[in-house]
Structure 1
Amino acid sequence: MFKQKLLERKLKRQLIRAFKAGGVYREYQSYKDKKKVYPKIHSARVLNEGKKVEYVFTLLNGQDPKEVKKKEYAFYQVFGRTLEIKTDGIKKYTLTVYSNDLKDKINWNFDKFKDDITDHEIPIVAGFNKNNELVTFDLIENPHLLISGTTGSGKSTQLRSILMTLIAAMPPNNLELYLADMKMAEFAFFRYVKHVKQLCMNAKEAKEMLFGVMDELDRRQELIVKEEVTHVKDLKENPVPYIVIAIDEFASLHDKDAMECLLEISNRGRALGVILILSILRPDSKTLDSRLKNNLNATMGFKTRNRTNANVIGTPGAEDLKGNGHFLLDSITVEGIPELQALFLDEKKLQKLLKHYKVKPEEWNIEVNEDNEDDELDGLQGGLLEDDDE
């Protein structure tokens, strides 16, 4: 019992160190000097045979939970990256510090996680946390995703597995993919996939594609006004598929008009069912417009080159990650900024999986207008009317 109390005091002192480092306290002036009053610590205990430590604390009256979120870096500085913070959104917090480390490799397997994403409109399987729990989120609730990291950090593999998950989880009549790959290295495997309506291999093609999406935004805006709904998923007379635009190394666009298109899509896309997935190698204030960044509600920060890059994308500490697919997730629907292990999907397995979703080259992106077969329809208006059962 005595040892247990000593341990509890030691654990509480660590938490107070984090409070002090982040300025999470109230300061009062006594008749002699200033006194710091910290949040109330209800418990500090070791669980799961030493595999994790759980703290429960309550903020002082008047303390803003938003300020605590801004100062989460202090908890990481004291306890390391292996932690998770949850809150009731008002005053009470549960801080869990894990002693076990992430695995270096977890293979992508749709059958193992498909039941976890059935309630997501546009499912993103992020990866596994320190407690070996799968973390997923919905791109409709977290509109627009930014993925950043150095070469070899796992960024490209994550982008590959995300697209494969979307293809496996959503039928082509409910998902259209528009892919731009200026390096001509990441998206070539997705050629002839039924879901893919356009595959751009240079900045000029990507710019033209974005202009076409802008026209589609206007068309969808007219539809929701006409049917008096607030989101395209509620359209009855003129249903439309979700559109996901994935651009690898979008900074390579080097075009003001294209960047303005991305900003406009990030502003209007959520209600209109048009979502961005953008990746960037070396983010800075010049390559990542702050207006665009503020509209990206989910960020996956793989190992960055330096602290400046990590701070720009909003995942401080990403510069200290060891790589191997480890990343920090900042999302409006996931507590804290947890460190996760991305799912691994190699190129050979990807090619094998995609065979089931491909059509013949001459059939790719061909549309059929039953009323007038001579009319040429815009690729943004839909895909094949009938898909092969594979």
Structure 2
Amino acid sequence: MSTAFSTGNLTSMASRPSAAKKPPAKKAAASAKAPAKKAAAKKAPAKKAPAKKAAAKKAAPPKPAPSPTGGIYRLVRAVWLGLAHTVGAVFRGIGQGAKNLDPAHRKDGVALLLLGLALIVAAGTWSNLRGPVGDLVEMLVTGAFGRLDLLVPILLAVVAVRFIRHPEKPEANGRIVIGLSALVIGVLGQVHIAVGSPARSEGMQAIRDAGGLIGWGAATPLTYTMGDVLAVPLLVLLTIFGLLVVTATPVNAVPQRLRHLGVRLGILPDPTERDELTDDDQRYDDQWREALPASRGRRRGPAPEAYDPDSVEQEALSRRRGRPRRSAVPQPEMNRPMDAVDVAAAAAAALDGAVLHGMPPSPIVADLTQGVSVGDRAETTPVPTPVPAARPKQEKLPKTEVPDLTKAAVPDLTKSEVPDLTKSAPDEIRDLPPRAEQLQLSGDITYSLPSLDLLERGGPGKTRSAANDAIVESLTTVFTEFKVDARVTGFTRGPTVTRYEVELGPAVKVERITALTKNIAYAVASPDVRIISPIPGKSAVGIEIPNTDREMVNLGDVLRLAAAAEDDHPMLVALGKDVEGGYVMANIAKMPHVLVAGATGSGKSSCINCLITSVMMRATPEDVRMVLVDPKRVELTAYEGIPHLITPIITNPKRAAEALQWVVREMDLRYDDLAAYGYRHIDDFNEAVRNGKVKAPEGSERELQPYPYLLVIVDELADLMMVAPRDVEDAIVRITQLARAAGIHLVLATQRPSVDVVTGLIKANVPSRLAFATSSLADSRVILDQPGAEKLIGKGDGLFLPMGANKPVRMQGAFVTEDEVAAVVQHCKDQMAPVFRDDVVVGTKQKKEIDEDIGDDLDLLCQAAELVVSTQFGSTSMLQRKLRVGFAKAGRLMDLMESRGIVGPSEGSKARDVLVKPDELDGVLAVIRGEA
């Protein structure tokens, strides 16, 4: 078995190598046949290669043969896509063109489309148009509107006519659609119910003979749920609502509209046709006709009585003496038509006569002069100058001639339209009416207000110059070069700057104009260009550019305004002239406090002089008293000795802090009286005192007198904040928070508007700001809480931000010369000597009674004495800790108290004996201060 097994194994093992060696044998056979194959290949090489390629192609799966159906499909698909792209491109082009089309053309297209629909509907409903269109119209219109299908063409025509006649009112389209829908639904619902409320089961023809599908849809739910009794009133209310909405008539205005309709139809008389005139109006009319040429005036008849200006003046003066100073002159309102005379010239003559003789203008003149610009005064009145410039095209334009911009349009009373660019002109300078200058003060003192002749007049302001035309051309060129769709529509010239109004084209961002600030400054050769985006109350961007020929604004011109004559409030002051050419005046009592700031040479001191001079020109010492603080010692010395001062001009910053503390005490005393007698404002209390309604209690020796306004002017706040910051800030904060109702007002001026001078508490309680040119953007933000003051050009150029305003007003501050100030001050001194109060600041006599050894340590000595007496413990180390002073200062204070008998002598390291009881402290402090 072993032999067999081994033999089998050997056999198997021998068979494996033979099997493994089979491929080499085949390989050898193949190699033996290789020369024959190579020879064959050499004989026919061209036939062998195609045979192999054919074999390779046969090995790949066969492709289906192209069918003619697939080619047709691809052709149809390509044609369809090409057609779709073409149609889409056409419609996109039409849509883009319609988008860029003028809105007026689009509205005209809609109107004509509605007219076409009206014609088609009329042909289908009125004349039974045959054909597919007629059948479709009859099916849709008659099926929807029923018996009222004949009115549908008329309705469409009315809407189309409205589109043509009133294209400028697109906001009314939605209202009209809503109103017409409600009106049609209500009427068709009532028609459906009136016919018998046919149902769907009766057929479509029955519904067409009633109110149509609209009437069926409106009436069926109501009749099914409520019945005809409630459905009809509801549909009637819906109809009335639609009628009111279409006619834009509120319910409360229905009687008035009916009266107007009756007047138009001639049923009712016109209530405005009245010929009754009051006596004053008749006299004014007669004066008008006397002032007009004979060929132009038409008289109604002889005047009932002559109009004597002298008697009117005396009557006005007597009325002024008998009434309070701040009473307003009532002006009744009348509304009646005038004769066909030259209204502009007549109104000018009557208004001049009224102002000259101290009388209010006639009510008719007041109404007419609201919108009439007098033509013969256009040369002296600065009016906004329109620029009829076309929009610049995208390509660069050559220089164009700037048209004449100074032709102010005079309204023609025969025309109903006024040019869009016409803007209201500022008040004209007129002579003030004669005032009752002799005012009787308390006692036998008669005070005469200074005459306006002491103040010089200025020349007429310019409305246009060649430089303005050049700047308009430069701005147009800049907009063209930078491809900004904008145009200059007009400009208003002020004394310092001119504001050019720029109107933007559609879809132009305002930021594109503001981004061109430096380019505009380069084009007009001016570094100070300020852009207002937009102008408050206007759809325009303002570009303020300084004038090369600046003008002076005199204080006398501002105080000679008619507005200054009509308002006799003593705290009304002149500030200057704004960029539109109008004069700026402000009532300090309404501010009620103002912060004036600006760098050196910006015009801050001139503004303070104008404020003080305005008060002296309009107020007596019984009306206004002033506290002037001048740490510089040279700014306000010209006003020394005027009777309006309540204390001499304060130049010591420490004394200024004491004066502010006195103002706080005065405010508390005034509030005590207001609370005791039940009044909320000092004006009401003063009026009650003058009328005798308020009297002192029985047994009291006090005689009640009206409180004057108290005006506190601090010329340099920074010096006060450096010396006594805590005391000054606390006093200013209390005054600004509470003093308005007490008649106390504060004017703070500084040339260093930093956060350590104008603190947050002071800013929060001083709402009115007047900023002149500052040196940095940070200073402008401190004053105005916004940039702008750093771009001012100085010398009176300022930004005025009154209380409640969002944006400041640019103005040129008024100027008063030293000679004018000296003349006004001398006049006031000649009328009355000043009466000072001794308790405002510590007087000179009290200062001499203070011991010389105390020196500047008076406050520390008082604190040390109060501390030692209250604690009954005299220790030098305690003074060091409590008062935060050094050992030498504490020892000196202890020696001063020892010399005055407050503490005993030193006993080494022990505390000193306190020789004064706590109840004796007030007397000791009075002795130390020199008060006793």
Partner residue of 1:4? 390
Partner residue of 1:113? 560
Cα displacement (A) at 1:111:
7.0
Distance 1:105 1:130 in 2: 13
Give the 3-state SS of the residue equivalent to 2:746 in structure 1. strand
The AA in structure 2 aligned to 1:343 is: A
Partner residue of 1:184? 633
Partner residue of 1:320? 791
Q: Deviations over 1:93-146 (max 9, x none)?
A: 676556673835222216743533343552132211112111112122211111
Partner residue of 1:234? 684
Cα displacement (A) at 1:271:
1.1
Any gaps of 5 or more consecutive residues in structure 2? 1-387, 394-474, 480-485, 505-510, 521-528, 690-703, 842-932
Could you tell me the TM-score, scaled by structure 1's length?
A: 0.72
Q: Deviations over 1:340-373 (max 9, x none)?
A: 1111112232112211111599x42258xxxxxx
Aligned residues: percent identity? 22
Give the 3-state SS of the residue equivalent to 2:822 in structure 1. helix
Inter-CA distance 141–49: structure 2 relative to 1 (3 Å threshold) = closer
Higher strand share: 1
* Contact persistence 1:86–1:335 (CA under 8 A): no
Any gaps of 5 or more consecutive residues in structure 1? 15-42, 58-70, 368-376, 381-390
Distance 1:47 1:342 in 2: 24
Give the 3-state SS of the residue equivalent to 1:127 in structure 2. strand
Cα displacement (A) at 1:85:
6.6
Which structure ranks higher in relative contact order (CA pairs < 8 Å, sequence separation ≥ 6)? 1
* Contact persistence 2:658–2:840 (CA under 8 A): no
* Contact persistence 1:104–1:341 (CA under 8 A): no
Partner residue of 1:67? none
Q: Deviations over 1:295-351 (max 9, x none)?
A: 112111111121111111115221222212111111125562122111111223211
Distance 1:167 1:233 in 2: 20
Distance 1:49 1:225 in 2: 50
Give the alignment partner of residue 715 of structure 2, picking from 229, 248, 253.
Answer: 248
Alignment pair present for 1:126 and 2:575? yes
* Contact persistence 2:534–2:541 (CA under 8 A): yes
Partner residue of 1:219? 669
Partner residue of 1:207? 657
Distance 1:288 1:106 in 2: 29
Inter-CA distance 3–122: structure 2 relative to 1 (3 Å threshold) = closer
Distance 1:75 1:300 in 2: 28
The AA in structure 2 aligned to 1:153 is: S
The AA in structure 2 aligned to 1:337 is: P
- Which range moves more in the overlay, 95-104 or 166-175? 95-104
* Contact persistence 1:251–1:280 (CA under 8 A): yes
Higher helix share: 2
Alignment pair present for 1:310 and 2:777? no
Could you tell me the TM-score, scaled by structure 2's length?
A: 0.32
Give the alignment partner of residue 329 of structure 1, picking from 797, 800, 805.
Answer: 800
Distance 1:113 1:295 in 2: 32
The total of aligned residue pairs comes to 324
* Contact persistence 2:532–2:543 (CA under 8 A): yes
Q: Deviations over 1:207-245 (max 9, x none)?
A: 121111111111111122122222111102352111110
Give the 3-state SS of the residue equivalent to 1:233 in structure 2. helix
Q: Which one has the largest radius of gyration?
A: 2
The AA in structure 1 aligned to 2:728 is: A
Inter-CA distance 84–247: structure 2 relative to 1 (3 Å threshold) = farther
Inter-CA distance 49–296: structure 2 relative to 1 (3 Å threshold) = closer
Distance 1:52 1:307 in 2: 22
Inter-CA distance 252–99: structure 2 relative to 1 (3 Å threshold) = closer
Distance 1:75 1:124 in 2: 39
* Contact persistence 2:769–2:800 (CA under 8 A): yes
Superposed CA RMSD in Å reads 3.7
Partner residue of 1:175? 624
Distance 1:167 1:54 in 2: 39
Inter-CA distance 84–185: structure 2 relative to 1 (3 Å threshold) = farther
Partner residue of 1:292? 762
Give the 3-state SS of the residue equivalent to 1:328 in structure 2. strand
Give the alignment partner of residue 729 of structure 2, picking from 233, 237, 259.
Answer: 259
